[in-house]
Every structure is written in structure tokens, then in C-alpha cells.
A and B are shown apart, each in its own frame.
Chain A
């Protein structure tokens, strides 16, 4: 029987992990250690539920309910003076908890502080757009939809941004293989030549590291050249090496090591 491989996370895994390996943790400190963050957190707690808050690597992380995202960011922007939304994206936890984690990376230039708002939604849920507050969220949310399939409510132009509009599947999900799925294999063939050409052309080879040693269509065999398309699976013919240079080339002098000059100083 073939060994079972989990399908919900097809990312590469380390082939060996020590039995007694315990991963160390990045230290989290209490928010009260930083006066500026503590004040911001107090402000947030006055209006919204805060599930968790801590400081990690000099940045505050605040975990909230997904339904509060617009309100929290509005408050942070208008009251706490976090004037830029530098980044917004998601993390796929579908395999372990069936949820996406969405993070908003914010920056306050007046306080010189960065904080991260995090919330979780399940696969079928959608989240409110914050594009009305920060225009930068327009493209970030489109990218998040494109990569994870997270639907955004009230977004002005909810379309794919990096992948083609008619693409199937969401590339950054853990279920999506690195080399692409079957749809990806046929996408360009179907698009350019039509479905009926599938038989003739074959699927796109999406594994960039794949080398077929009998393939004389795509691979040159240096030193053992055969005509293009020749079948060498039953053994290959001996190719005598003939170099064009042996008989001299028109206009090109023969290389003479004695006459060559090595330029040592490039005179900058």
C-alpha cells in the first residue's frame, strides 16, 4: 500500500526532525512594558473586544474579532494616529484549524511605532474591506483574494490581480502544489492552441528541474549531438566530434596564447 500523504498541506517538509527537538519561541513581552503601545491598547479595549495582545520584536500584536476589523483600523487611523497601512495579507491555517489568519501591518510615523492587527476567519466567511480608510488596501485585498480566495465585502473592484482572471485555484493555499495543479498544466495550451491541440502538444512541463535524458526535442546533448527529435531510447549512435574551428573560420584568426594580452588595470 502506498504511504498516506496528507492533502491539506502539500508544502515541503523537512525529511528529518530529531525526536527530542523542541522548537524555541520568540519572546513575547507584556504590552504594559511600552507606554505608547499600552495607551493605544487601552483605547482599543474601550471600544472593541481584544482577544490577545503582546509585544514581539518591538511591534505590538493585537488579536481581534474579524467583524471588528474596519472599526479597529478606523480607530487606529483617526484617533491613535497610525497613518499608514503598510501591508495586509493572510496566513493559511486551514489544515490545522480550518481558518485563515489575516494580518494588517500598520505604521505610525508620529510615534515611530508599528503594530499588527490579526484576526481569524473560516474558509467560507468573508471580511470587510478597509479600502475606504486606506487606498493601499485596494490592491492588497485584491492580492489576498487572488492568492487565498478570501472574499472581501464592499471592495470596489474585486478581481484577481496577479493571476489571469480565468485562473482556477488559489496559489498560496497550502493545498496548492508548488508546481501548479492540472488546470495550470493545460492553461496555456488551451488558451493559445485550443483544447483540441492537447493531444499533439501535451501538458506544460512545470517542474523547472525536470530533465528527460531521452528527450532530444528540448535538450541539447553537448558532445553527443544527434538530430533533433531522434529516438535514442534504444541506445544512441556514436557522434564523431567535429569542430568547425578545426579548419579555420572565415575572418577569425586562430587563438594564439603568445600574442594575447592580459589587461590588468581597467583604468577606472
Chain B
């Protein structure tokens, strides 16, 4: 009898006393193409998968519990650690939920800056997706190309908020900072070059025989399956459901910008890849429009709501009442009204929702994080059987799961 509770080798993936040919294989939790800490238990007949059990929780930090013990503003940097590939979109999702709960109207300049952050984050996330997935499939060149472009964007974000990965660049009620001087020309320079870059990736991949063999008709998700599994974002749109929260339930300035929602009805890996490419182009389109909106906006960056939001720094330094408010808000935290809210945003991965139940206290009574990747991992249970081992890598790649978000 093997004992699993000591530091001894424990061969749990080898079954000795069985008559059939079934092999149970542990894929992960330390597999380079598992995109984090995913452990997949695969039941194999030869190379074909008969059963798949995704096992998660290796990155579980109990963020929901932490949220119940933190004031609202304190939780903001924690949301960075969910989808750490595009952290501003998590910051924004949380800020939006609290703003809806309080009923805050955010100044227009803050909205414009938020739109810029959200879309640059989407580009960063999609570039990262392309790079890692291409690397998993073996396309090293695309990886290097896409990381180069992502690096420019990370530099831009760094210029804005000082951080490259965990931005915390959004505040409840607005944004903390105005854009630095060179931000808009730099972003424009990047966007002007982006179509060329995307064309480079597509030239390398679109008709690449290996890429097509690994992608086409692999990991086909039907429309019913995608809906039933709670898929969102590209996972849903690749299966023929035209649903983009930016379009259907517009938040911020998404109702003022023009963009298309690319949809495919194929449902396979290749369709998802094409949608990522198309979405990058749409993001660039949105960014061009948002860049023009910045000029002429009022300089206010934070909403005016003395009960919930600290006054601008100049007021805090000159006016006694603002200083007192600020002191109370920092030490005790804001107290949103009693009630509950569920705010969904379209993060680069899909529908990112924050459910907050407030009992009028400084700490949320219950905060539920609805992270899209959670269900995109769950769907592997139904998606993988019937596929072969090499397909597992490409399927995990195109589901675009991030484990900070799955385990929370």
C-alpha cells in the first residue's frame, strides 16, 4: 500500500491491477502548456481521451473571503491578481459594481481614460494569448513577435500607472491619474503599426499547415454546449452566439463608439483564433475613436460624492472638511447603501461579473466573483473526451484560461 502523505514517490498515474488498456494520465499541475496550475486527469485508450477531470484550486487564495474582511478600496489591488494578464479590466469590473451600488456618475475624462485602459488591456491579453498558444503549438516566431508588441503596451501602461502587470489603475468613482503627456501620441504610434503586426501573425499562421491541422475541427463547441456551460466572450461568439456585453449592455462610452462584434459559427479552435485576431482590429478601432474623445473633456477625474469618494487632493490640502472626510474614508472606508448588485463587464476572457451584497457596512457582506475562465475550464470535462493528447494542448490554449481567475 502506498502512502500518499509523505515525501515519497507515489505513482498515482500508473494502475497495475487492471485488465483493460486504460491509462490514467496526470496532465499538470506543472505542465508548461497548462497555462498555470491546471491538473487534468485524463483517462486514455491508447492516445484517445475517454474521460477528463480538470482539477483546480492550486492557486486558491480565498479572494471572496478576503473581500469580506476588507474595505471596498482596499480590495481593488486584490482584483489585479485575478486575471493578471489584463488586470485593469478586473479593477474596472469591481469599480463598476460598487459605482452601480452607490449610484455614482463618473466624469467624462475618467470614462475616456478607462476606455483606453480597458482596450489596451484587451490588446495585451489577446497578444499574450496569441503568443502563448502559438508557442504551445510550436510557433516560436509568433511568440516573439507578439511579446514584442505586448511589451510596447506594457510600457505604455507603465507610463500611466507605474505598474506593468498589476495595474490597480482604476479607482471607485474614476481614475487616479490623468494621462501623461506622451501617452496619446505613443498609443497612436503603436496603433498605426498594429495592422501590419497583425498581418505578420496572420501571414505566419493563417495558412500554416501545422497550425491548421492542430486548429481546424479540433475542440468543436456547439452552440448549446457553450450556452449550457455558461461560456462567454470569444468562447461563446466562436460558437455562433452574437453576444458581447459591450454591445448589448453598454457601459462607459461603448455606446458612443463604433465597432463590430466578430462572430463565427464553426466553434473550433481555428474559429476562436480568427476571432481573437478580428477583435484586436476592433479594439484598435475603438481606441482610435477614444483618443479623439479625450481632447476637450473637463479635467475632473473622480466623481463628486463626498460621502463615498475623497475630494481632490487640492481640496484635502486646503479645506478642513475635505480633510476630515478623507480621513474617515481612508480609515473606516465608504459605506454603500444596503442592497445588492450584479455588474457584468466584457473582460478579454469573457463575462466578468461582480456580485456584491452590501448590508450598509464598510465591508461587503458577500462578494462573489464571476470569472469567465472558471466555466471555460469546466467545459473541458465535456470537450476533451474523443480528442487525442496533442489536441489537449491546443484546446487549453484556445480556451484562454488564466488560473488567477479560475481559483480566485
Contacts and interface: CB of A to CB of B under 8 A. Distances in A.
Interface of A: 11-16, 21, 23-26, 28, 56-57, 59, 61, 83-87, 89, 91-92, 103, 105, 109, 112, 114, 116, 134-136, 138-139, 147, 160-164, 171-172, 176, 178, 190-194, 266, 268
Contacts of A138: 378, 381
A89 B65 contact: no
Nearest to B189: A268
Given A135-B382, A178-B66, A83 B338 contact: no
B359 A23 contact: yes
Given A14-B362, A268-B155, A139 B378 contact: yes
B256 interface: no
B62 A57 contact: no
Interface stretch (B109-117, B367-375, B387-395): B367-375
Q: Is the interface of B mostly helix, strand, loop or mixed?
A: mixed
B344 interface: yes
16 contacts: A12-B68, A13-B363, A14-B332, A15-B332, A23-B359, A23-B361, A24-B337, A26-B338, A26-B339, A87-B370, A91-B366, A136-B228, A138-B381, A139-B375, A193-B7, A268-B189
Interface in B59-78: 60, 62, 64-66, 68-70
B300 interface: no
Interface string B170-207: 00000000000000001001100000000000000000
Contact of A134 (B230, B357, B362, B363): B230
Given A114-B344, A163-B60, A139 B248 contact: no
B230 A86 contact: yes
B293 to A, nearest CB: 22
A69 B152 CA distance: 50
B363 A268 contact: no
A94 B299 CA distance: 48
A193 to B, nearest CB: 8
B407 to A, nearest CB: 6
Interface of B: 5-7, 56-57, 60, 62, 64-66, 68-70, 100-101, 103, 152, 155, 186, 189-190, 225, 227-230, 232, 241, 243, 248-249, 332-333, 335, 337-342, 344, 351, 353, 355, 357-363, 365-366, 368, 370, 374-375, 378-379, 381-382, 407
Contacts of A89: 355, 368
B183 to A, nearest CB: 11
Nearest to A28: B339
Given A26-B338, A162-B56, A268-B152, 9 more contacts: A11-B363, A12-B69, A57-B339, A86-B353, A139-B375, A161-B57, A162-B407, A164-B57, A171-B62
Nearest to A163: B57
Nearest to B333: A14
Nearest to B103: A26
Contacts of A147: 64
A15 B7 CA distance: 45
Nearest to B6: A194
A26 B57 contact: no
Contacts of B155: 266, 268
B338 A87 contact: no
B249 A136 contact: no
A56 B355 CA distance: 13
Contact of B341 (A24, A26, A160): A26
A236 to B, nearest CB: 34
A86 B370 contact: yes
